[in-house]
Amino acid sequence: MSSPTAVRPQRPAPPAARPHVPSSPSASSPASSVALIASLLGFTVITIDVSAVNIALPAIRNSLHGGMAGLQWVVDAYTLMFAALMLSAGALADRAGARRAYGWGVALFTLASLGCALAPGIGSLIAARVVQGGAAAVVMPASLALIRQAYDDPRRRARAIALWTVGGSVALAAGPVLGGVLTEAWGWRTVFLLNLPIGAVILALLVRTAASPRRPAPLDLAGQATAVLALAGLAYGVIEGGHLGWTSVPVLAAFSVAIAAAFAFYATEKRHRAPMVPLGMLRQRQVAVPLVAGFAANVGFYGAVFLLGLYYQQLRGMTGTAAGLMFVPLAVVTTAMNVVSPRLAERLGRRTVILVGQAVMALAMFVLLPLTAHTPLWLVVILLIPTGMGGALAVPALTALLMDAVPGHRVGTASGLLNAFRQTGGALAVALFGVLLAGDGTGEEFSLPGMHQSLLAAGLTLCVTTALAAWLLPRDRS
């Protein structure tokens, strides 16, 4: 790429006639575009890994001979680390600099993906997924920080962030399709191998981006450690409780650790001079409601993708490719509604859009309840569409509401907290629903009543958060 000063003008223009060219990165379209592409690729690949693996679960089970508990951990090991470390990943990106933190995160994520692809057993796969999730937690906030660094102009930055957001939505919705196609054509390991060339491209692009400033952001290591312990103990108790028994010593010990860690987290955050989660912020209605609504939205979306992915393959006997293609309409509707939601929020108000989105998603869980092993597949596809429609309506509006409810210096904290709540909702949905699916406790059967119980639990959760939003959120101004 040639430098702007490579060609010398024959006669310099007088100062009054010389056009103003800002020196910020946003004025350099190639440099800004490189940063945007690098950020978008990273956000896309970590998002795909959340949903694509769901379709590969039956193939992983056949290959590595893991039971239902093992499959749940393949999903939740990634999601839980993603959720827990998200709370302090923003501070880490500030301390190291966005570009450096992003590079570290992408490199570690790529290496962990190779470990997943080469895993000889279910235990080693779960361990590699833990590392993947931790790396993804670093990549996500650093990718957004790179965009903010590359675009000084607010309007250009807004467009870039909108593109970044839509890219993540497309990746989340398209993940099951891609996972099914790759698994069926070349095996489940290619779902992880795909990350290697993408990671290499991202690292090559980072070389062409500007170095990021660093600032001494405080790290709350005690709060981070207790958050990880609390979430891991809770997930272990739920997953293993359905297989070892709810009164077994390991399960009771896990729940005890989760409760003790939760109290320790509260005490730590209350006394820390720069807490990872300012507790006073959680008392604001415009903060608390988006957090619980985001939690419930992911319970519904991730829960439905997990359930239907297994339903298509284990109960209906479909191939991975066919099962993935069944999610195409869901992906299209989810992507479209993510674009439409902000416009509807401007016209109708954020509260209205959040309420409608959650209500539609709750209804989506209930309309899936009559599914049987003989329901026409075209009808299953149609009944699944409101799941994506409701979630894609609600999430952009509740995100915008949360961002406006906190001061500017807390936006990163609030964003990390929202993502942590959402990922935790998805992780706990997989943990609980997997237990209900294994109706006989052996993990060898797909329990249709268990699927119905899971959908009912998701629907009731969404009803509760819809009622909370209607009660606690102020009415939209006309």
Q: Kindly report the three-state secondary structure assignment for every residue of 223-252.
A: HHHHHHHHHHHHHHHHHHHHHHCCCCHHHH
Query: In this model, does residue 269 exceed pLDDT 70?
Result: yes
Q: Is the pLDDT of residue 28 over 80?
A: no
Instruction: Report the range out of 83-92, 204-213, 236-245, 450-459 with the highest average pLDDT.
Output: 450-459
Beta strands (DSSP E) in 230-373 are none
Supply 146's token pair: 């790179």
- 145-159, 193-207, 366-380: least confident range: 145-159
Structure tokens at 387: 């799941």
Q: Is the pLDDT of residue 16 over 60?
A: no
Angle at 426 between CA 363 and CA 219, to 5 degrees: 140
Do 440 and 247 contact (CB within 8 A), yes or no?
no
Q: What single string gives the DSSP state of each residue in 50-116?
A: HHHHHHHHHHHHHHH---HHHHHHHHHHHHHHHHHHHHHHHHHHHHH-HHHHHHHHHHHHHHHHHHH
Q: How long a stretch of residues is the chain?
A: 478
Q: What share of residues in the chain are helix, strand, coil (percent, to 5)?
A: 80, 0, 20
Report how far residue 55's alpha carbon sits from residue 379's, in angstroms, rounded to the nearest whole number.
20
Could you tell me the pTM of the whole model?
A: 0.80
Q: Alpha carbon 253 to chain centroid distance?
A: 29
Residue keyed to tokens 């004025």: 27
For helices 448-472 and 285-310, what crossing angle results, to 10°? Answer: 160
With a cut of 70, say whether residue 1 has pLDDT above it. Answer: no
19 pLDDT above the threshold of 60: no
Residue 11: pLDDT above 70? no
Kindly report the CATH number that applies to the domain delimited by 283-478. Answer: 1.20.1250.20
- The string of pLDDT tens digits covering residues 343-393 is 888 888 889 999 999 999 999 999 999 999 999 999 999 999 999 899 889
Residue 441 has pLDDT above 70, yes or no: no
Sequence-separated (6 or more) residues with CB below 8 Å from residue 243: 67, 68, 69, 435, 438, 441, 443
Residue-level pLDDT at 417: 84
Average pLDDT, integer, range 400-429: 81
Distance, CA of 414 to CA of 222 (rounded, Å): 19
Sign of the Cα torsion 45, 50, 56, 61 reads: positive
Give the per-residue pLDDT at 445. Answer: 58
278-281 long-range Cβ contacts below 8 angstroms, 24+ apart: 278/410, 278/413, 281/406, 281/410, 281/413, 281/414
Select from 44, 85, 132, 83 the least CA-distant residue to 423.
Answer: 83
Residue 92 has pLDDT above 90, yes or no: no
Kindly report which listed range (119-128, 168-177, 209-218) carries the lowest average pLDDT score. 209-218
Check residue 312 and report its DSSP letter: I
| Distance (Å, whole) CA 129 – CA 235 | 15
Q: Name residues whose C-beta falls within 8 Å of residue 453's C-beta, 6 or more positions apart in sequence.
A: 436
What is the rounded CA–CA span in Å between residue 240 and residue 73? 10
Distance CA 68, CA 48 (A): 22
74 and 157 Cβ atoms separated by less than 8 Å: no
Mean pLDDT along residues 20-28: 41
Instruction: Give the list of residues 6+ apart from residue 293 with CB closer than 8 angstroms, or none.
Output: 354, 358, 394, 398, 465, 468, 469
Query: What CATH topology corresponds to 29-212?
Result: Growth Hormone; Chain: A; (1.20.1250)
Distances (CA, A) of 123 to 73, 126, 127, 234: 9, 5, 6, 19
* pLDDT mean across residues, the chain: 83
| Residues in CB range of 33: below 8 A, 6 or more apart | none
Average pLDDT over residues 116-143: 91
Question: What number is the average pLDDT over the span 255-264?
Answer: 93
